[in-house]
Structure 1
């Protein structure tokens, strides 16, 4: 009788385990926290990086600044136009990335969970984690870019044409009046070419950097890491992810600046992009990469650190993790 009871107990335990969800259940409140944390971390970092972004964009599109470094380009702009020129486009940058950041981070949490659930088991989720990261970051970024594109077009026009508008509202309405929806979304395809590789570098490389570090630590060490150690791991992973994001997305970033400046022949967007790419060549496509790598390393690392801090401060649920060293859904390490 005891053997039968033991077998029944094991069967019940197995069934209970099978009924456990593969990932945590996120509520609308959780997604609201994800969105808020993503919105704040992106608008704070992108807004703070406006001067560097202005210099980078001008190096890409202004022949007078071609070949300049971040410092020399900045000095030349300030000397010719005054310090205020480095804050051109701050409004659309802050608002655009407030919306885009919220959609991107909450979208990544949603799609990573969705794709993880879809594979059906913890083992398969870990096995296909690269595909899950790539898919989640790409889909999340696609929808976020629908919101970002009009504001990014406004920002680039204000940066590239000094005196184009006095602020976000005037710049947006002027651009819309000049060409309507077509002008506001003229850069949608190149922005996808830019932002999807950016998001892939940002999220996927960050995930694997964390995994690479934590796999080298014993379970005891992982569980007793100090706050300083966790901060250092998050910072290093974010900087590395930022470099990857900059390199992967820079050619399309250059083309996006050219498209919004009005450069290139008439025709379909793909034809215009291909023509501009041929005219620029490899050197032209990667013009301004150095300043952008510095900017992006600061952006990405700052975003992950702020996202984790804001999310935790608001009582947000831990994110889904599918690193190889652990099972699918332990407590999140902040930036995930």
Structure 2
């Protein structure tokens, strides 16, 4: 049987499938919105018409995160884990040399000689000794630090009210970051104790798996928190400076250096501002928290040591300056990278970058950010 060039009216393939785009769209719309006719079989249940038939394109997110909702804080917590855990693990060699310079300055006289001594005695693998407690400890700390900072910043802003939150925003940044760090250090402290012991006493343990039980056997479970108060002394001023100075620096960058409003800047420019603001903030952090950092290293290295012993051995000048240049480089880079990673993750999930806008209380709580 000869076939005609054009499909017949009885063709099994509906003609709208090979018709023009507009006709095809119109036909689909008619099918999807068609109402059952009177001749329809009574045994067939009619399908209710849909008012909208929209499939989100790959560029259109299908979910939304409400600002200051549990999902928002969960995203900030995840960003904190990535930013702190990965960056601290990456600078483990610098941290290793710094800790040994603080504990044994006669042997580790400078940054370059410190790396030379480690390379000669322990090989290249020795530069990453203690990376596991570093990764886990600072991941836990970052989760609490960033997640609770966002929570306390919003809470304190709500308590103050829009007018006072805008007027005393720096105090809110300081109070929110201090509150978050108190919690974060409780999570960090056991890992920090084991890390310092592993890094400064070769042969003590290979890492966390054997170092933690050996530490507990030697000094008891409470011994893991022996350095908590000095850790608070180091980390709380550090974090207050880290968050308050970052928020202020970023605000000034957008206000005085970039003529375009933040919400009109590209995401890459915003992330560049986050890194720059974080690096400058990190330099201030290192200077403010360095004496307590020396105390933490000393107390976790020497069994039964006290703060008085540390001050007596290191001296007041040494307490403020020993290992400081290396720590400025390390903390500046670390803090800049942390803010860059944290805000990059927020951008990835569709949230705005940190800083450069009014405090949380002046922002509508119902503002939505696409994921």
Q: TM-score, normalised by structure 1?
A: 0.82
Find out whether 1:233 has 2:273 as its counterpart. yes
2:39 counterpart residue number: none
* 1:118-157 equivalences in 2 (<5 Å): 118-120=159-161, 122-157=162-197
2:229 and 2:139 map into 1 onto residues whose CA distance is 21
For the Cα contact (< 8 Å) 1:108–1:140, is it kept in 2? yes
For the Cα contact (< 8 Å) 1:125–1:322, is it kept in 2? no
The alignment's C-alpha RMSD in Å is 2.5
1:259 and 1:190 map into 2 onto residues whose CA distance is 9
Q: TM-score, normalised by structure 2?
A: 0.75
1:40 counterpart residue number: 82
Provide structure 2 residue ranges, at least 5 long, that are not aligned to the other structure.
1-65
1:84 and 1:320 map into 2 onto residues whose CA distance is 39
1:302 and 1:218 map into 2 onto residues whose CA distance is 21
Change in 2 beyond 3 A, CA 1:322/1:230: closer
> CA deviation digits over 1:241-277, x for unaligned, max 9?
1101111111000010000011675xxxxxx224422
For the Cα contact (< 8 Å) 1:126–1:322, is it kept in 2? no
For the Cα contact (< 8 Å) 2:196–2:300, is it kept in 1? yes
Change in 2 beyond 3 A, CA 1:191/1:134: same
1:57 to 85, 99, 105: 99
2:297 counterpart residue number: 257
For the Cα contact (< 8 Å) 1:34–1:316, is it kept in 2? no
Find out whether 1:28 has 2:104 as its counterpart. no
Range with greater deviation from structure 2 (272-281 or 179-188): 272-281
Counting helix residues as a fraction of each chain, which structure ranks higher? 1
Provide structure 1 residue ranges, at least 5 long, that are not aligned to the other structure.
1-23, 266-271
2:134 to 67, 76, 93: 93
Counting matched residue pairs gives 300
2:344 and 2:237 map into 1 onto residues whose CA distance is 26
For the Cα contact (< 8 Å) 1:129–1:322, is it kept in 2? no
2:352 and 2:251 map into 1 onto residues whose CA distance is 20
Residue aligned with 1:165, SS: coil
2:15 counterpart residue number: none
Change in 2 beyond 3 A, CA 1:226/1:65: farther
Range with greater deviation from structure 2 (174-183 or 41-50): 174-183
- When Rg is computed on C-alpha atoms for both structures, the one with the higher figure is 2
Change in 2 beyond 3 A, CA 1:214/1:295: same
User: How far apart are 1:232 and its partner, in Å?
Assistant: 3.1
For the Cα contact (< 8 Å) 1:54–1:86, is it kept in 2? yes
